[in-house]
Chains A and B, each alone.
Chain A
């Protein structure tokens, strides 16, 4: 399997805070990898680094062997990386369907002048995008809601819509940031099924950040653990469950929470 994403000694600082510290990490084609860690460990920051929202203070990030330093988020998305956001960021004034359609932007054959001229090729393209968007919504059970404003969707559906929107960019690597947050147990089981299904159907690699251990242990082939920005462990779910440092990191948190 060839490698999609590679991080080499990646560090990012915000003022005095080192949010991600010397992280080495990689994801290969078609893998389903989990990324876990206590609150504030740097998981979301790592996503932001990969998608070009932040640039690393030091270290390298490569996509398919090419260094991404200095590229815009949209260019990185064009290289096959899509994501969802932990704090949902849908296009709030748009309908559910339009949220998905907006994400087809990368794959437009006729852009500005096509939209002005509205010729046959343009119309065919619009029809095809619409169809494809609907098909994606269907998979995630959102077809019925296609024409409602996305704001009016229940929370869980908004999270699902984020995934649909990310899929519309036709990624090779999908980054999911706490997709199960706020879902009830039945929804979570359904979500696990959907993630596996889309992974196989679209031949995706998935990097999953999730606090729910049942979800992570249930579907991930490999798991990396962050604590205070450092990668403290990496391995199969069974290895991770036994890892002393991981247990300490999580126990420490539970003690603090109690």
Chain B
């Protein structure tokens, strides 16, 4: 139980510190005076870790192939912003009893709301997609992601295609990494149990899994819901970090970004995927000037990787999973 205890402890510490720094949401704990640029990248990295780790439970551990993660992120982002931006006055008023902590209280609530809404969306996507496998599932989840985007685009109350600006920037380094540690802990401990062997069994062989009493339907939906919940949290954190969200920002290409992280990290390896998410965030920043070449390079990398090393660059790093996770 050692690593798990440590994780819980660090989450507690991170949350405590975030709480203490309430007054300065962008406070740069724990690295002292850190320049804003690095701070921003670290926050983005944390958000990407949440996205990648949560997609990994669907694509890696359960062996489904979702291409709609950005859709869940959008639900989380817009869902939380509904509380803190669109209806902020009313919400703050009803939290007046918290006194000075009302904005923080609202922020926490909005994070949860984002996560829960996204989880519901995950349920809505997971249920009809159950009969589908592989490429079909990929396209349907992609379709769902696009439907979510089109719906937001056509909803005036959410700012339509123009997007939503003026979201209070409350996401701090502590919050981001607190949630990402939480996601790592949750996915790691879910998978690493007798219960969690069910996810892996579904990935390896659905028919055998059913024959061994594993309810594959339940597992797939659970994976979708858990994945979507954390993607929603990531979206909420992102919205309150960047302050301005548009439907375009949650397009199919964002989903592909996350998929690339999961693939490079090695599907099914939580550690590998975490490292890949951090590394790719930094790489993206470094290559920001060369944006066009970056994507060409990624695409080539993806192709070459699949031909030569389908278990991912970092596959096998994972302690959470016995064996490597390159299987479909």
Contact = CB atoms under 8 A, between A and B. Distances in A.
A and B held together in a complex: yes
Nearest to A110: B195
B194 interface: yes
18 contacts: A77-B212, A77-B213, A89-B207, A92-B204, A93-B204, A93-B324, A93-B325, A101-B194, A101-B197, A102-B198, A102-B200, A105-B195, A105-B212, A105-B213, A110-B195, A115-B196, A118-B1, A118-B189
B325 A53 contact: no
Contacts of A110: 195
Interface string A197-241: 000000000000000000000000000000000000000000000
B91 interface: no
Interface string A39-62: 000000000000111000000000
Interface string B51-76: 00000000000000000000000000
B214 A102 contact: yes
Interface in B285-304: none
Nearest to A169: B213
B209 interface: yes
Interface of B: 1, 4, 186, 189-190, 192-198, 200-201, 203-205, 207-217, 222, 268, 321-325, 327
A94 B214 contact: no
A95 B324 CA distance: 11
B204 A125 contact: no
B194 A105 contact: yes
Given A94-B323, A108-B195, A126-B194, A85 B208 contact: yes
A98 B325 CA distance: 15
B109 to A, nearest CB: 22
Q: What interface size band does chain A fall in?
A: 35 or more
The B interface, classified by DSSP as helix, strand, loop or mixed, is helix
Nearest to A84: B211
Which 9 A-B pairs rank lowest in CB-CB distance, beginning with the nearest?
Answer: A73-B210, A106-B213, A115-B193, A102-B197, A91-B204, A89-B208, A103-B212, A77-B213, A102-B201
A93 B200 contact: yes
Interface of A: 51-53, 72-75, 77-78, 82-83, 85, 89-95, 98, 101-106, 108, 110-112, 114-116, 118, 122-123, 125-126, 129, 149, 165-166, 168-169
Contact of B211 (A82, A93, A95): A82
A126 B193 contact: yes
A128 to B, nearest CB: 10
Contacts of B323: 93-95, 149
Contacts of B207: 53, 73, 89
A106 B193 CA distance: 14
Given A90-B204, A95-B322, A169-B212, 13 more contacts: A52-B210, A72-B217, A85-B208, A89-B211, A93-B327, A102-B194, A104-B194, A105-B194, A105-B213, A106-B213, A115-B193, A115-B194, A166-B212
Given A74-B216, A93-B204, A118-B1, A98 B210 contact: no
A74 B204 contact: no
A78 B211 CA distance: 9
A105 B189 contact: no
Given A51-B211, A91-B200, A103-B213, A116 B194 contact: no
